[in-house]
Amino acid sequence: MGSYSRCAQVSTLGASAAPPEALLRDSCLDLARCYTCVEVCRLARLHSGVLMPATDAILTYPDPRLRRTAEPVEEVTPELRERVQAMFPLMYEAKGIGLAAPQIGWNKRLFVINVTGEKEDELALINPRILEKGGGTWLMEEGCLSLPGIHGKVRREKRIVVEAEDLDGNVLEIECDGLVARCILHEYDHLDGVLFIDRLSPAKKQSLKRKLRALEERAASAVR
């Protein structure tokens, strides 16, 4: 995973190039493989006015869309790949290490993670299935991009085996532990409408009540 390369057009255009309309016509056919291309395509759309920019935003608690059970992805299409690729910059901008489709209001069983921030550690898991959990459990403080300012210790299994499709539609089996396993379990929960606050101890949940209430009130005042 994560073997993304800069395409020739992007390399020659550079970051501050004029709106690259040409990219809309005859390149970026393989944009799902090229993160930089995805960005340039979005810019090109924005500047040319040919298409509206696709700007997904991260939903926050208590948005009801975070509580739905997500639906399986039926087919990995170029459009799906592009939208999944665009989740990485959104996640980095928010300083997260994982982002699940339901968090952008996209009710599909997929998520992206990158626990190191290095390009080669980007992982997109589509229709994931947890095949095994083991190695005992461990506690670690978690946060969530959909719960700004909220943190709490969650107990999770140390080691997992997960099966998922990648952006090419290939089935992968990944055995992992530590932070990667934790991150996958956290994101997997999102696909079932589960948030990490659901897994906190009753005492911790109680101590967070005021902060959660503040998020609820903020959402209520936003819709008024």
Distance, in Å, from the CA atom of 48 to the CA atom of 53, rounded to the nearest integer, reads 10
Q: Which residue is nearest to Ni ion (CB)?
A: 144
Signed CA dihedral, 9, 12, 15, 17: sign only: negative
Q: Which of 186, 13, 163 is nearest to 91 (CA)?
A: 186
Run of H or E including 25? helix 21-26
CB of 146 to Ni ion, least distance (A): 6
User: Hey, which bits of 35-122 come out as E strands?
Assistant: 98-100, 110-113
Tell me whether residue 20 or residue 102 sits nearer to Ni ion (CB atom): 102
Three-state DSSP string of 52-68: CCCCCCCCCCCCHHHHC
CB of 28 to Ni ion, least distance (A): 30
Q: Which residues are catalytic?
A: 187
CB of 193 to Ni ion, least distance (A): 12
CB of 163 to Ni ion, least distance (A): 21
CB of 110 to Ni ion, least distance (A): 14
Taking each helix axis as running N to C, give the angle between helix 78-93 and helix 35-48, from 0 to 180 degrees, rounded to the nearest 10.
90
Tell me whether residue 38 or residue 100 sits nearer to Ni ion (CB atom): 100
Tell me whether residue 20 or residue 98 sits nearer to Ni ion (CB atom): 98
How far is C-alpha 89 from the chain's CA centre? 9
**168, exposed or middle or buried, with CB in 10 Å at 0-12, 13-18, 19+?**
exposed
Q: By the criterion CB under 5 A, which residues form the site for Ni ion?
A: 144
**Count of alpha carbons within 13 angstroms of residue 182, beta-carbon side:** 20
Tell me whether residue 41 or residue 70 sits nearer to Ni ion (CB atom): 70
Tell me whether residue 20 or residue 128 sits nearer to Ni ion (CB atom): 128
